[in-house]
Structures are given as structure tokens and as C-alpha cells.
Amino acid sequence: MAANAATAAGRYSPTFRPSRVRTRVRPPTPERTKSDPKVGIKAQLLRWTSHTKESDRTVGQPKAREPKARGPYAKTAARRAEIVRAARDSFAQNGFAKASLRDIAERAGITHAGLLHHFASKEELLAQVLAARDAEDWQQGLEQVDGPDRLAPYLAELIRHHQKAPELMRLWIELAAAASRPDHPAHTYFVERYERGRTQFAEGLQGTAARSRLREGISPDSAAALFHAVLNGLQMQWVLDSDLDIVGPVTDFVRLLFDEDLGDG
């Protein structure tokens, strides 16, 4: 689910070792840095940000064909994707604190040492899981929302999907709050994430048809900021009280943004 194929490039095969060379020097890469656990989070989030340019693509425009990784690189990318899926399931079931790298390795069908070959820490895996979750949501939004009348049904579906994994929702909220500090390693990622989201939402309302349906007095930029505030705020309230209905309020909010009655989810 994550766009990780490019991160496999640059790795050396661990199976080749010249007979007369006692040590093998691995070129430094961000994801192999272990001196500071936070570096892994920053490297993963910033790398995902740099590769996720799909938000710039116009809805309906064909996706550019990318060269497929082959040989050991393809296998490495596939293995990393399996580990990320295993980590997502472990975090969702056990929570971040109780999840262990050994449990994640077992779910992925590899050894503990094999997992550490790809990810240096549990924090690095958490960053990749949450970035992959963001990428999934982003891509689905691009594919499913082609006008204001599709926004409410998509948001209702998205919220119900997130509610199936409340622990991941909680972890995302906690990381986003912690990243509000300028010195946090994920600060830049979240600043750019929200800026990109507001820009895309506002640009989607710039067309004549969509702009004409926006309620009088509300600018596209204001609508974009309100959209993210309402969506994230309601999800945080649901984490505190899982009996709270947040699908209805999200649908009502979309109706408030536009003059015409829109479809339900």
C-alpha cells in the first residue's frame, strides 16, 4: 500500500562477500542511521513526502508509467511492503507500546535479524505505517472524488474505514500533536502535508462549476482550512468517545459548504 519501491535502490546484496575482504562497508543511507532513533522517523516521512507527488496530478489524468524494479531490488521492495503491512496489523491489534519487532517479524514471515536489515527501529516502522496510510487515503480521494457531490460519500467511507483500526487513528493523532513543535523530526512532514492538502482542496473548488456551488461568502481557501479542521477534530473526538457519531456531522458539514443538497454516504 505504500510507495516504497524507490527506497530499495542503493542497497548492496548481503549474499556477496569477496573471500579476501574481511569487512563490508555499507554506504550510509537515512534509513540505516541508528545513532538517533528519531532520524528514522524523519527520514521515512521526508522520503515519502518527496516521492508522493500524486497530489499534483489532475483527477482523471492517466498515471505516469514508472519503470518496474527487477531482481533483488524488486524483492527488497516487496519484502519491505510485507513488513509494513505486518507492522500495521501489530500496531492496530496491540498498540504501539505493546507491539514488538519480534511479533512483527513473525507476522511478516522473517527473522528478527531480517527485519532489522530493512528497518532499524519500531519508531521507523511507525513512521512508514502512518505515511503509507496517508498515501492510501490520498490516492483514494483522487480516484473517487471528482466533484462536490462525491465528497460526502467519500468522507463517510473514509471515516468508517479508519474506525476499524482505532489504534492507528490514535497513533496518527498523537504523532501529529507532537510534531507541532518546530524541533520535532516530523514537523516538516506535517506542515507540508497540511499545506499540500489545503492547496489541493482549494484548487478543486476553483473551477466555475464547483465555485458556483460553494456557499456565498466562503472562499476556497477558507473551505479547505475548515475541511481539515472538521475532519481531524471529529476523529479526535471519536477516539475519546467511540460512541459518538461523526459520520453524520461530516456529511452535514459538507452540506453547509455548498448551496445545493448533496448526496449522503
Q: What are the pLDDT digits (tens) for 99-152? A: 899 999 999 999 999 999 999 888 888 888 878 888 888 788 878 888 788 899
The model's pLDDT over 143-197, given as tens digits with 9 standing for 90+, comes to 888 878 889 999 999 999 999 989 888 988 988 898 899 998 788 888 988 998 8
Q: How confident is the model at residue 198 (pLDDT cuts 50, 70, 90)?
A: very high
Do 183 and 260 sit in the same domain of this protein? yes
Mean residue pLDDT across the chain: 75
CB 5 within 8 A of CB 84: no
Q: How many CB atoms lie within 10 A of CB 92?
A: 18
The CATH number of residue 40's host domain is: 1.10.10.60
Do 100 and 197 sit in the same domain of this protein? no
Hey, what's the cell of 133? 496510510
Q: Which residue segment(s) compose the domain that 80 sits in?
A: 36-49+72-133
The CATH number of residue 151's host domain is: 1.10.357
Give the Å distances, CA to CA, from 258 to 84, 141, 214, 248.
39, 19, 4, 16
Does some domain include residue 257? Answer: yes
Do 119 and 150 sit in the same domain of this protein? no
Q: How confident is the model at residue 73 (pLDDT cuts 50, 70, 90)?
A: low
Q: Is 17 exposed, middle or buried (0-12, 13-18, 19+ CB in 10 A)?
A: exposed
CB 251 within 8 A of CB 234: no
Of 110, 133, 156, the last residue of a domain is 133
Q: Is the pTM of this model over 0.75?
A: no
